[in-house]
Structure 1
Amino acid sequence: MRAVVYTGTSINHSDAMKILEAEYRPPVRRDDIRKLMKSPPEIIGIIDGVFFDSAAVAHREIIEALRGSVIVVGGGSMGALRASELEPYGMIGVGRVYEMYRSGAVESDDEVAVTFNDETMEALSLPLVNIRLTVKAMQEAGVLTGEQASAVVDVTRKLFYPDRNYRNIAGECIKKGVIGDKEKDKLLGDFRNYEVDVKREDAVLVLERIKNIIQSLAVE
């Protein structure tokens, strides 16, 4: 059974292949799915996709794939967003980011947007959803107060998405009075100690769901 998965920034292709043997492609762009349907696979996995630098994958091309009896599973990043929007058409959503979009806890595309190296697909900035859950973990551990946690998320949200990294966030927190100058290094250390990479976690769940679907269909 042929499975095509669009990813690269949430999880690299080498690590993904260790979980699921599939045909891996870079983050999905507009018309990629439509072109793929000229020789359709049985399953499409959408994890990563482009947002603002190029046209994003269109809802209609995913719907066309679903109507063509292709199973489409999404989660992690663009896949989570599109799955939350296209669940009524049969797209399968997986993971916490998907649930955040589905419940309305987050709404904007820029919650999952990152800049990435076109050659290596390595993410060059941090997604807001990761910061949200990292800050939540810090609050639960007593590292940040509830007020500080909310302020850090607000500071991050107001940064242009390519500028979202721990150093910039800490610098803005100092400017806004969320922390003092002397607390910067501690905050940077805490960010890394309590880091939650929810996009990668959800990417793994997408791959495992596809693997389970393939196994279940093979049994039937």
Structure 2
Amino acid sequence: MEKRTQEMSEEKKVLIFAGSSISHEDASKVLDATYWPPISRGDLDRAMEQGYNIIGIIDGIFFSRAAVAHKEVIRAMKGGATIVGGCSMGALRASELDVHGMIGVGKVYEWYRDGVIEDDDEVAVATYPDTFEPASSPMVNIRETLRSAFHTGILSEEECTSITLLAKRTHYSERSYFGITKEAHREGILPEERSKELLKFCTENECDVKRDDALLVLEKVRQIINE
């Protein structure tokens, strides 16, 4: 029995694509797996060649290089891989390919699946090239944080809507709470003191939807490993 259990364990080779929504260091504290940088075109084929058969897609490349193609994901699943997606690129591809067997988890996946959001830029961020850490704030986080500010009473519903639209008009690589609140004051949506109050709230109480969803991907992969 012990030998059989060991053989079954060795059959499960786990790979996670991440780095922007959650660092490899933090992710490895949750799940013991191999971690590669955000996924781009060709990485899934390489992973399959190396024998990985349980794959979690969290982060991916959007605009600087070719993104992972739908046919790559389908090819990997037909080759026997179980693929879980959520949070960022993983959520986007899972919402498009769950009908083909890709497993989607998390709030962002559900938003894409249900048509609440549609654009790639909702989860895209500028990153530092060496570490893949985010250098801008993702739109999905901004949406939830501004909604939280509304529910807390810091913003009216109209102000929340106006500032959300302002953030959406901003290029994904330039989105930040500092820039958004400053522009909200410049456009006359908020007076200066309230824009400063909003900035303080956002920086201290950000709703990090992407990190929460990244953790859900790791937990789902853990469940699959233990099945």
Where on the TM-score scale, by shorter chain, does this alignment land: which range? over 0.9
AA at the equivalent of 2:62: F
- Contact 1:40/1:70 (8 A) holds in 2: no
**Which residue of 101, 115, 123 corresponds with 1:112?**
123
**Which residue of 126, 133, 136 corresponds with 2:137?**
126
TM-score between the two structures when normalised by the length of structure 1: 0.96
- C-alpha separation in 2, matches of 1:37 and 1:120: 25
- Counterpart in the other structure of 1:24: 35
Map 1:154-193 → 2, pairs under 5 A:
154-193=165-204
- The secondary structure found in structure 2 opposite 1:37 is helix
CA RMSD of aligned residues (A): 0.9
Shift of 1:92: 0.2
- C-alpha separation in 2, matches of 1:122 and 1:67: 32
> Aligned pair count?
216
Map 1:1-220 → 2, pairs under 5 A:
1-216=12-227
Larger radius of gyration: 2
Q: Spell out, residue by residue over 1:81-111, the C-alpha distance to the aligned partner (whole angstroms, 9 max, x if none).
A: 0000000110000100000100100000000
Q: Percent identity?
A: 45
Q: Which moved more, 1:105-114 or 1:131-140?
A: 131-140
AA at the equivalent of 1:31: G
Q: Spell out, residue by residue over 1:100-142, the C-alpha distance to the aligned partner (whole angstroms, 9 max, x if none).
A: 1001000000000001111111100000000011111111111
Gaps of 5+ in 2: 1-11
- Contact 1:152/1:169 (8 A) holds in 2: yes
Gaps of 5+ in 1: none
- C-alpha separation in 1, matches of 2:152 and 2:186: 24
- The secondary structure found in structure 1 opposite 2:56 is strand
TM-score between the two structures when normalised by the length of structure 2: 0.93
- C-alpha separation in 1, matches of 2:219 and 2:40: 23
Q: Which moved more, 1:150-159 or 1:185-194?
A: 185-194
Shift of 1:40: 2.8
- Contact 2:149/2:198 (8 A) holds in 1: no
- C-alpha separation in 2, matches of 1:30 and 1:114: 18
